[in-house]
Structure 1
């Protein structure tokens, strides 16, 4: 994969994999491959969410710190 994976792209791919599995559109030969890919995508999404949460919390702390300086 040459371009950087985004959260939205990973989430959309996960949805497609889930639909394929639910609809039994995945052959037994490809099932393990799809499940492995899903696991990779889930881990990517979890890491992205954790990083975003940390970043947002840091921004909020900075904003709160600046409020104290303005008073």
Structure 2
């Protein structure tokens, strides 16, 4: 994934896309592009959550070993 976007930015854009789809604001011609973009944003969010979870686990283990 080469795109540099924060979790918050990705999540907000994803919410916007979902809202547009729900409100029927997207033409059939644009729907495929929006769904592809949404899939990319979901992947970005999942990767960032996974990385954060790993980092937090590592920090917690380090703290436990120091006790």
With structure 2 as the length reference, what TM-score do the two structures score?
0.94
Unaligned runs of 5+ in 1: none
**Larger radius of gyration, structure 1 or 2?**
1
RMSD of aligned Cα (Å):
1.0
**Residues of 2 paired with 1:24 and 1:8: CA distance?**
24
Counterpart of 1:56?
Answer: 56
After the TM superposition, which residues 21-40 of structure 1 pair with which residues of structure 2 at under 5 Å, given as runs?
21-40=21-40
With structure 1 as the length reference, what TM-score do the two structures score?
0.89
How many pairs were matched up? Answer: 65
Q: Which runs of 4+ in 1 moved over 3 A?
A: none
**Residues of 2 paired with 1:55 and 1:48: CA distance?**
10
